[in-house]
């Protein structure tokens, strides 16, 4: 019996994909419950390197069933491309992939409005991925969304789309864009919908039966807690909750069913898009970290902002998620640093302050309290046990564990599946 959630404990891009790929080897059911094609999970395995946006990374375990649950915002174009890529690589998806008919769909106007709004906002823009996520979730909660199920009926789909275009074309034109044509969208989306029909199936009973039957269920989160709409530095967030608890609404998992919550965190911090990043490194050190970690967005290719490990934030996100364990990724990226720093907390106007007591304007002014650590200056990519890590790396990991108060049970030292080890 086990239901395990894998969630991000920072600003996304923590390496959840590889952790799910790994744990997914032993899982029976793998469920993606939040986010959309704004997410980019990089997975490297014997079949190649894949940038997954919508299909759960667990698809690479041929014995597992994977679910795109109702909480996921579907981009049918991205999904089609992704499915083609994994099928071409030899992955059998037939009878193994289920897509909830409750999923809302990103429409062309969502993507256009995402971009036009960001541009109109100028300096106030938040740096979205421009995948239409904000506008699509806004439509979902304001009763304007179009669900996969709506596309099953041609008349329903046409009616819904025409109503939306009545509203959206006004907005598009007012923002300097062009009005969209219903017929064109209907043709393309009906075709995309038809291609997905074999996978569309309400997964609720299958999920409940799997849990009741003691099957191993893995919940794959997207993004990270620091992008949660409520608990991050609003409005520098994403439109859906990346917390383990969001799996209740996003996949129909009762909160009492969660057994393990694995918070995945990088050995340092990165953020893509705007908003506070108190431990950010500007200049040479930030560039060194970005180059060492090849920190460029999997979805947009944007350079990620880099900084030291922020224990204040991770302590908070682990509490918020109810993390039962941590997976620490990308330790190897720090291999060549002479000295490292960890932020143990924040100060504002000279006084200690907690993350949760700060609003966005305060967070922008917070100073991290930095603690210095000796670097280890040698490669860790071939290390396969904690005891074989250089002493300085061991104490770096142990210090993070002590500051967070949650056991680090997995350490990753490279992108390949085997570049990792467990700690008791
Ligand atoms: P949106 O989700 O595209 O609306 O973007 C909102 C914010 O969340 C922006 O700062 C994005 O860069 C960030 N974001 C969204 N998805 C991801 C992700 O998967 N990894 C990292 N940042 C993300
Ligand atoms: Mg990512």
Alpha carbon nearest to ligand 1 atom 9, residue: 128
Give the CA distances from residue 139 to residues 95, 101, 227, 335, in Å, rounded to whole numbers and listed in that order.
31, 17, 19, 45
Contact 135 CB / ligand 1 (< 6 Å): no
State the Cα–Cα distance between residues 277 and 10, nearest whole angstrom.
Answer: 10
Ligand 1 site, residue 38, Cβ cutoff 6 A: yes
CA 302 to ligand 1: nearest atom? 12
Domain 104-196 and domain 265-422, same fold? Reply is no
Q: Which atom of ligand 1 is nearest to the CA of 39?
A: 19
Task: Answer whether CATH 2.40.30.10 is correct for domain 265-422.
Answer: no
Sequence-distant (6+) residues with CB within 8 A of 239 are 73, 133, 134, 136, 137, 138, 229
- Ligand 1 in contact with 12 (CB < 6 A)? yes
Fold designation for 2-101+200-262? Adenylosuccinate Synthetase; Chain A, domain 1 (3.40.440)
Cα 252 to ligand 1 centroid, rounded to whole Å:
24
Q: Which residues are catalytic?
A: 13, 41
The residue nearest atom 12 of ligand 1, judged by CA position, is 273
- Measuring from atom 15 of ligand 1, which residue has the nearest CA? 38
- Tens-digit pLDDT profile for residues 89-135: 999 999 999 999 999 999 999 999 999 999 999 999 999 999 999 99
Domain ranges of the chain: 2-101+200-262, 104-196, 265-422
Residues of the chain short of pLDDT 70, as ranges, are 1
Which one of the ligands is nearest to 129 CA? 1
Atom of ligand 1 nearest to the CA of 222: 19
Ligand 2 midpoint to CA 223 (Å): 7
Q: Which of 227, 265, 266 to mutate to test the pocket of ligand 1 (most atoms within 8 A of CB)?
A: 227
CATH of 104-196, picked from 3.40.50.720, 3.30.67.10, 1.10.300.10, 3.90.1150.10, is 1.10.300.10
Distance, CA of 174 to CA of 324 (rounded, Å): 49
Integer CA distances (angstroms), 380 to 273, 342, 385, 398, in order: 30, 19, 10, 16
272 lines ligand 1 (CB under 6 A): yes
How close is the Cα of 272 to the center of ligand 1, in Å? Answer: 7
Per the omega criterion (within 30 degrees of 0), is the bond before 235 cis?
A: yes
Pocket lining: 227 vs ligand 1, CB cutoff 6 Å? yes
In short, whether 127's Cβ falls inside 6 Å of ligand 1 is yes
Q: What proportion of the chain, given as a percentage, has pLDDT over 90? A: 93
How many CA atoms lie less than 13 Å away from 364 in the CB half-sphere? 8
* C-alpha to C-alpha distance for 245 and 241, rounded to whole angstroms: 8
The upper half-sphere exposure of residue 303, i.e. CA atoms within 13 Å in the direction of its Cβ, equals 11
pLDDT at position 300 is 85
Q: Six-digit token pair at 234?
A: 């609003």
Q: According to the model, what pLDDT value does residue 346 have?
A: 98
- pLDDT on residue 424: 74
């Amino acid at each position: 019996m086990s239901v395990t959630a894998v969630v991000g404990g920072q600003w996304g891009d923590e390496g959840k994909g590889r952790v799910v790929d790994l744990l997914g080897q032993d899982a029976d059911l793998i469920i993606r419950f939040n986010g959309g094609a704004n997410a980019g999970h990089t997975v490297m395995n014997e079949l190649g390197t894949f940038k997954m946006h919508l299909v759960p990374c667990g698809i690479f375990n041929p014995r597992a069933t994977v679910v795109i649950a109702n909480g996921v915002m579907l981009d049918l174009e991205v999904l089609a491309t992704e499915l083609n890529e994994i099928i071409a690589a030899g992955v059998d998806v037939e009878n193994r992939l289920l897509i909830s008919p409750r999923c809302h769909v990103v429409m062309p106007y969502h993507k256009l409005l995402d971009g036009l709004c960001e541009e109109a906002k100028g300096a106030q823009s938040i740096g979205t991925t421009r995948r239409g996520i904000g506008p699509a979730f806004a439509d979902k909660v304001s009763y304007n969304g179009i669900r996969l199920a709506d596309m099953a009926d041609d008349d329903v789909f046409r009616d819904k789309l025409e109503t939306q275009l009545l509203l959206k074309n006004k907005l598009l034109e007012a923002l300097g864009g062009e009005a969209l044509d219903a017929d064109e969208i209907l043709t393309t989306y009906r075709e995309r919908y038809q291609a997905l029909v074999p996978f569309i199936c309400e997964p609720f009973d299958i999920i409940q039966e799997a849990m009741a039957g003691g099957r191993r269920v893995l919940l794959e989160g997207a993004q990270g807690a620091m992008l949660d709409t409520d608990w991050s530095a609003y409005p520098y967030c994403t439109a859906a909750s990346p917390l383990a608890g969001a799996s209740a609404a996003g996949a129909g998992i009762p909160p009492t069913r969660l057994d393990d919550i694995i918070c995945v965190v990088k050995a340092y911090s990165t953020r893509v898009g705007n908003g506070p990043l108190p431990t950010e490194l500007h200049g040479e050190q930030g560039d060194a970290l970005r180059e060492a970690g090849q920190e460029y967005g999997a979805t947009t290719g944007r350079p990620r902002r880099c900084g030291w490990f922020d224990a204040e934030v991770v302590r908070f996100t682990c509490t918020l998620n109810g993390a039962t364990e941590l997976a620490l990724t990308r330790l190897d990226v720090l291999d060549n640093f002479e000295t490292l720093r960890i932020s143990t907390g924040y100060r504002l106007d000279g006084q200690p302050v907690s993350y949760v007591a700060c609003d966005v304007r305060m967070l922008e002014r917070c100073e991290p309290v930095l603690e210095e650590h000796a670097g280890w200056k040698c490669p860790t990519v071939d290390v396969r046990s904690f005891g074989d890590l250089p002493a300085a790396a061991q104490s770096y990991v142990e210090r993070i564990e002590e500051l967070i108060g949650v056991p680090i049970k997995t350490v990753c030292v490279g992108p390949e599946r085997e570049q990792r080890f467990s700690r008791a």
